[in-house]
């Protein structure tokens, strides 16, 4: 689902901050003032944005249609019994496509005074190489219009990157922002190298939502 759909679904629980909000540090105070509620900033510099959407176990469980006390067991079962994903010809997001990228114009905030700059903090990296797919979280510091910097810790994505560099190739990745909670949960799991986290998300939605 789109983030707008989730905001509509959670209705009165959403804190809406009307009026202009600056990206640098200003947005942070609204997020910290409402740590357990979704915050919607329609007037954020650069464009509308939301935060804290999945900051409670109850909302994640609600999205999956299960009681909160079943969330952990459902996730563990999905890890133990992943299922195949379904390949589609087209997805809705492909209707919005451009090569004229300007990261500095997007609603990406600087959250704290000692941060080196503005960061994408909840982007899930999807990488594939040699038949292996990996989902993982890595912060990205915006450097300019079309460049960002990240620290890739020595785990699965680093292994794939090193393999690509050794072969004289680039490692192509998709950085996904605004994913549904089952993909976020799967991207945050710690599994053995070669386990496709998207199959964990697939098992979770099949188990909880029947799809």
The model's pLDDT over 184-211, given as tens digits with 9 standing for 90+, comes to 999 999 999 999 999 999 999 999 999 8
Q: Which domain holds residue 5?
A: 1-55
Do 78 and 124 fall within a single domain?
yes
Specify whether 168 is located in the same domain as 197: yes
Gap between the Cα atoms of 157 and 166, Å rounded:
14
Do 141 and 183 lie in one domain? The reply is yes
Structure token digits, residue 4 = 């707008």
- Residues 20, 122: one domain? no
Q: Which residues of 64-83 are buried (b: 16+ CB within 10 A; e: fewer)?
A: bebeeeebeebbeebbeebe
User: Has this prediction a pTM greater than 0.85?
Assistant: yes
> Domain for residue 201, yes or no?
yes
Q: Are residues 79 and 146 in the same domain?
A: yes
Residues 104 and 185 in one domain: yes
Do 110 and 30 have their domain in common? no
Name residue, tokens 């090193």: 162
Q: Is 130 left (phi over 0), alpha (psi -120 to 50) or beta?
A: left
Give the angle 188-110-123 at the CA atoms, nearest 5°.
Answer: 25
Judge whether 40 lies within some domain: yes
Neighbouring C-beta atoms of residue 111, cutoff 10 Å: 18
State how many domains the chain has: 2
- Per residue in 32-63, pLDDT (tens digit) is 999 999 999 999 999 999 999 999 999 999 99
């Amino acid at each position: 689902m789109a983030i707008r759909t989730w905001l509509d679904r959670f209705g009165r629980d959403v804190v809406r901050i009307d009026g202009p909000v600056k990206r640098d540090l200003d947005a942070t105070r609204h997020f910290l003032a409402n740590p357990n509620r979704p915050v919607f900033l329609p007037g954020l510099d650069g464009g509308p944005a939301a935060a804290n959407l999945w900051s409670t176990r109850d909302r994640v469980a609600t999205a999956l249609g299960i009681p909160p006390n079943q969330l952990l067991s459902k996730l563990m079962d999905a890890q133990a019994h992943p299922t195949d994903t379904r390949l589609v010809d087209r997805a809705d997001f492909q209707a919005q496509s451009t090569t004229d990228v300007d990261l500095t114009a997007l609603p990406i905030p600087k959250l704290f005074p000692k941060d080196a700059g503005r960061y994408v903090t909840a982007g899930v990296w999807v990488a594939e190489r040699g038949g292996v797919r990996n989902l993982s979280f890595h912060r990205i510091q915006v450097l300019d219009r079309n460049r960002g910097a990240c620290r890739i810790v020595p785990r699965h994505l680093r292994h794939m990157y090193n393999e690509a560099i050794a072969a004289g190739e680039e490692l192509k990745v998709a950085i996904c922002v605004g994913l549904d909670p089952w993909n976020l949960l799967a991207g945050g799991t710690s599994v053995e190298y070669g386990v496709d986290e998207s199959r964990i998300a697939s098992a979770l939605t099949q188990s909880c939502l029947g799809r």
